[in-house]
Amino acid sequence: MGILRRAAEGGAEGGMKGSHASRLPPPLYSKMATVDYDSSADPEMDLTSDEELEREAEGFKEQGNAYYVKKDYAEAFNFYTKAIDLCPKNVSYYGNRAATLMMLSRYREALEDSQQAVRLDDTFMKGHMREGKCHLLLGNAMAASRCFQKILELETDNSQAQQELKNAESILEFERLAEISFEKRDFRMVVFCMDRALESASACHRFKVLKAECLALLGRYPEAQSVASDILRMDSTNGDALYVRGLCLYYEDCIDKAVQFFIQALRMAPDHEKARLACRNAKALKAKKEEGNKAFKEGSFEEAYDLYSEALTIDPNNIKTNAKLYCNRATVGSKLNKLEQAIEDCTKAIKLDETYIKAYLRRAQCYMDTELYEEAVRDYEKVYQTEKTKEHKNLLKNAQLELKKSKRKDYYKVLGVDKNATEDEIKKAYRKRALMHHPDRHSGASAEVQKEEEKKFKEVGEAFTVLSDPKKKSRYDSGHDLEDDDMNMDFDANNIFKAFFGGPGGFSFEGNSSSGPGNFFFQFG
């Protein structure tokens, strides 16, 4: 405010000279209404009348000066206006009122008064200074520079004009950098440049709107809304500020409200191309998303997948809506058994919105479906840390259990059956695998192959022992460690084989009981 006060100080050109002069009594001939006399033709009366007006105007000016000193700028403005009404060609009155308007932050009106003052007297340096300062505060650095240069022509060593000229040049440089940065989509740099420019151009709505737009593009919606709302409080018809309000709502996925603001912005500024494009994108995005949702509900998953993909091409800047679209497409992808693509879509959604719980849950389920249990546990832990609900706790416990189970031998895989296999399917699978891996069948193979087949034959026996026993199978499916449950897991692979295929007349591959490969005794685990 220091520079502003220097520009506005001396609000009373001519200073404070005590009480204003008393008014002269009306001339005697003013009472001679009955006399047939053309008073307007009397030059002495015109001169007296002008002097009276000047004295009265000077009195108003001095009253304005008194209020200005008391910082009652509203009253000072009223008296300076009265002075101007009486003497509309007095330079100092416009200068004083301009200074007062600056103190009231009414810079556009102050600019008009300053310009009128220098039109009346081109050598009025305070007028040029105030005009330049108003231009600068309103963000017109080029016009401000011309004013300060004019002062330096009149007074080459004017330090204030020199400093203000540097400020104007700085603003021009920040404008240039901001324009380049915006083209490069470096919105953080634009915000930085506008913050620096606004230090000298604090009343520039154009800089504030550009800053607010970039804050919105950075996802800093509350800050952007605050800046735009401040502008609208001062100027409710500002199309740019209305556009930014709509942009924030649009990026927060409040599309219907956003469209209303875009339409209002276009009413205020029919040629506002950004508002027109944003309005069109908002309507298209909403329509395409709703088409995708409808197709999904109707079970047309391929169509829904394509519609969500089309919606994702409409506006890459709409982070929140695109995050939802990626998650929706992931849901459809999982229905179509495109699990890897579904996981990728969830990851993209999370990258756009790290707080998007639904995307974490969808990805975790896809990890479970692809048996990537460690990744599933990690996602469920993230969800449970954010929202400690009973449902999320159960999902996490289930994933942890599946992870624990995955680290043991998978007896279902050993037998080559599904986890929901029936008793008959388990028996058929054992019959097939036991015959396939029985060591006697591979007695002519190399020692290495024999060893590998012996190992597989043992695992087939283990698997059948567990999965053919309802109690053991139940404990195994529940994730319990069977050894910890004191269950007898010692068995003879040949006995299991013989018991399954029957005695004499069945399959028998007995060899030398002491050294041949036909007899195996092993312990579970």
For residue 143, the model assigns a pLDDT of 97
For residue 94, the model assigns a pLDDT of 97
Q: Which DSSP state fits 31?
A: G
What residues does each domain of the chain span?
54-203, 315-407, 411-482
Rounded Cα gap, residues 517 and 443, in angstroms: 8
Cα-based distances in Å from 286 to 247, 272, 281, 297, 325: 14, 22, 8, 17, 11
Lowest mean pLDDT across 117-126, 156-165, 271-280, 489-498: 489-498
What is the tens place of the pLDDT at every residue in 291-329?
999 999 999 999 999 999 999 999 998 989 999 999 999
What is the tens place of the pLDDT at every residue in 417-432?
888 889 888 888 888 8
What is the tens place of the pLDDT at every residue in 450-483?
888 888 888 888 888 888 888 888 888 877 766 5
Question: At 146, is the pLDDT very low, low, confident or very high (cuts 50, 70, 90)?
Answer: very high
Question: At 60, is the pLDDT very low, low, confident or very high (cuts 50, 70, 90)?
Answer: very high
For residue 239, the model assigns a pLDDT of 95
For residue 35, the model assigns a pLDDT of 33
pLDDT for 104 beyond 80: yes
For residue 483, the model assigns a pLDDT of 58
Q: In the CATH scheme, what is the homologous superfamily, with its name and number, of domain 315-407? A: Tetratricopeptide repeat domain (1.25.40.10)
**Residue 49 burial (CB count, 10 A):** 12
Tell me how many degrees the CA angle 30-31-36 measures, rounded to the nearest 5. Answer: 80
For residue 355, the model assigns a pLDDT of 93
For residue 287, the model assigns a pLDDT of 95
pLDDT for 519 beyond 50: no
Cα-based distances in Å from 450 to 408, 410, 460: 24, 22, 15
The helix, strand and coil proportions of the chain, stated in percent and rounded to the nearest 5, come to 70, 0, 30
Average pLDDT across the chain, whole number: 85
Lowest mean pLDDT across 260-264, 318-322, 350-354, 520-524: 520-524
Q: Which residue has the higher pLDDT, 145 or 461?
A: 145
pTM of the model: 0.65
Q: For residue 104, give the nearest of 198, 4, 206 by alpha carbon.
A: 4
Find the mean pLDDT for residues 391-408.
Answer: 91
What is the tens place of the pLDDT at every residue in 335-378?
999 999 999 999 999 999 999 999 999 999 999 999 999 999 99
pLDDT for 31 beyond 50: no
Share of the chain above pLDDT 90, in %: 64
Question: At 37, is the pLDDT very low, low, confident or very high (cuts 50, 70, 90)?
Answer: very low
CATH of region 54-203, choose from 3.40.50.300, 1.10.3720.10, 1.25.40.10, 3.40.190.10: 1.25.40.10
Alpha helices in 387-477 (DSSP H): 390-406, 411-415, 423-437, 447-467, 470-477
Q: Specify the amino acid at residue 33.
A: A
pLDDT for 228 beyond 70: yes
Lowest mean pLDDT across 118-132, 245-259, 269-283, 474-488: 474-488
pLDDT for 497 beyond 50: yes
Question: At 48, is the pLDDT very low, low, confident or very high (cuts 50, 70, 90)?
Answer: low
pLDDT for 32 beyond 70: no
Cα dihedral 221, 225, 226, 227 in deg (nearest 10):
100
For residue 36, the model assigns a pLDDT of 39
Return phi, psi of residue 203, to 5°.
Answer: -105, 15
Whether domain 411-482 has CATH 3.40.50.720: no
Find the mean pLDDT for residues 376-382.
Answer: 96
Find the mean pLDDT for residues 254-274.
Answer: 95
Question: At 491, is the pLDDT very low, low, confident or very high (cuts 50, 70, 90)?
Answer: low
| CATH fold match for the domains 54-203 and 411-482 | no
Q: For residue 355, give the nearest of 395, 397, 327 by alpha carbon.
A: 327
For residue 46, the model assigns a pLDDT of 55
What is the tens place of the pLDDT at every residue in 195-222?
999 999 999 999 999 999 999 999 899 9
